Amino acid sequence: MLLFAFGTLMDADVRALVLGRASPDAEARPAILPDHRRLRVAGEVYPAVVPDPGGAVAGLLLPLRSPHERERVQYFEGLHQILRGHTVRCRRDGPVTALVCASADTVQVGTEPWSFAAWRARHKAVYLSATAAYMAGFGRVGVREALAGWAGAFAAVPPGGSASAGG
């Protein structure tokens, strides 16, 4: 089972918290999600992908080693993101089917492109702390309860901060 990461899960530290194991960059392969673009979710620090004929989103193709890891990723993505199969292009393997986090219609996607480098510089430290607390609830509390704690972790973040998990 493969996961196409296009947002915060491109970061090995975030992946380790979400998957519950080390996920070094060495196991990731560069890949492209065709006919999409990456935009920042309105009022959040993470992105969503939206259809864009002719567009392309660069990301990483990552192995999920078990159904348990898929469950952990779905928990992390929250209530408004769903893992769905899409064809992505990988230089080494050609076209492959991978799970991609698709936003539900309830997600308000902004118009601002999302930058992984800018996210790392501005938000990673707080995001890691919030993700650790959020993922500690996996298997113990539901997503709604965990999201309440996530919002609290970003209470002091300036506008453009986050109020829900994902990315």
CB 101 within 8 A of CB 83: yes
| Residue written as token pair 């292009």 | 89
Q: How many helices (H) and strands (E) does the chain have?
A: 4, 6
Q: What is the percent of the chain where pLDDT is above 70? A: 90
What would the pLDDT profile of 56-112 be if each residue is shown by its tens digit? 999 999 999 999 999 999 999 987 889 999 999 998 889 999 999 988 777 899 999
Output the pLDDT for position 159: 45
Contact 61, 4 (CB under 8 A): yes
Mean pLDDT of the chain: 89
What's the CA gap between 163 and 149, in Å, rounded?
9
pTM: 0.88
Enumerate domains of the chain plus CATH numbers: 2-153 (3.10.490.10)
